[in-house]
A and B are shown apart, each in its own frame.
Chain A
Amino acid sequence: RKEVEQDPGPFNVPEGATVAFNCTYSNSASQSFFWYRQDCRKEPKLLMSVYSSGNEDGRFTAQLNRASQYISLLIRDSKLSDSATYLCVVNDYGQNFVFGPGTRLSVLP
């Protein structure tokens, strides 16, 4: 079983749609969690950290369920510019970042 798994995608959604991505991780000792965004032929960039209480940044909402070892990302009112690959990242303090395989999103006009 892979350490971090994500919805395989791709997701093709119309502008304005709401889309949710799921991520599961295998190491129950994992301490910090992130969503990164990677545009085609670019480096990954931090979208948001994921906190136990859940957090929201504009149209983006991240949730963490430690009991189920599950992380989600919700994007509301999708924009064309949201088209990218979304990477779920899990870290154990003293260990390293583990990247999920990514979920590709295409927002269509």
Chain B
Amino acid sequence: SAVISQKPSRDICQRGTSLTIQCQVDSQVTMMFWYRQQPGQSLTLIATANQGSEATYESGFVIDKFPISRPNLTFSTLTVSNMSPEDSSIYLCSVAPGGAGETQYFGPGTRLLVL
């Protein structure tokens, strides 16, 4: 398994601003993921962030809006840029220590409210 922390745990932001969310893992993992969970909805994958390569974004998500950094095997950031109220959501990072297709472990999430 893996222990994951996220910062901030929650934030309230003004539209047009940007927020960077940090994800820290207690062990080195290659595969890290960023998800969004909108109110009352299930999880939607934003992107896969593997160390040493550019993030791979899912349909509907673009790098200009959600830039991701993965400087090492224990850390990643997701930035939500030029925010609008529609970006209000929970953002979760996860890791798959066993590799592709194996169990994912999730961070506690970052609750974002955009006014």
- Selecting from A39-47, A56-64, A72-80, the interface stretch reads A39-47
Asked whether, in the complex, the Cβ of B107 is within 8 Å of the Cβ of A96, the reply is: no
Within 8 Å CB of A87, what residues of B? 42-43
Q: A21 contacts the other chain (Cβ, under 8 Å)?
A: no
| Interface residue SS majority, chain B | loop
Interface size on B, residues (CB 8 A): 19
The answer for the CA separation of A44 and B41 in the assembled complex, in Å, is 13
Asked whether, in the complex, the Cβ of A32 is within 8 Å of the Cβ of B102, the reply is: yes
- Give A24-68 as 1s and 0s: 1 = Cβ < 8 Å from B's Cβ atoms: 000000011010000000111110010000000000000000000
Contact of A99 among B43, B58, B102, B107 (CB under 8 A): B43
Asked whether, in the complex, the Cβ of A31 is within 8 Å of the Cβ of B109, the reply is: no
Asked whether, in the complex, the Cβ of B102 is within 8 Å of the Cβ of A97, the reply is: no
Q: A14 contacts the other chain (Cβ, under 8 Å)?
A: no
Within 8 Å CB of B105, what residues of A? 46
List the interface of chain B (C-beta within 8 A of A).
33, 41-45, 48, 58, 92, 100-109
List the interface of chain A (C-beta within 8 A of B).
31-32, 34, 42-46, 49, 87, 91-97, 99-102
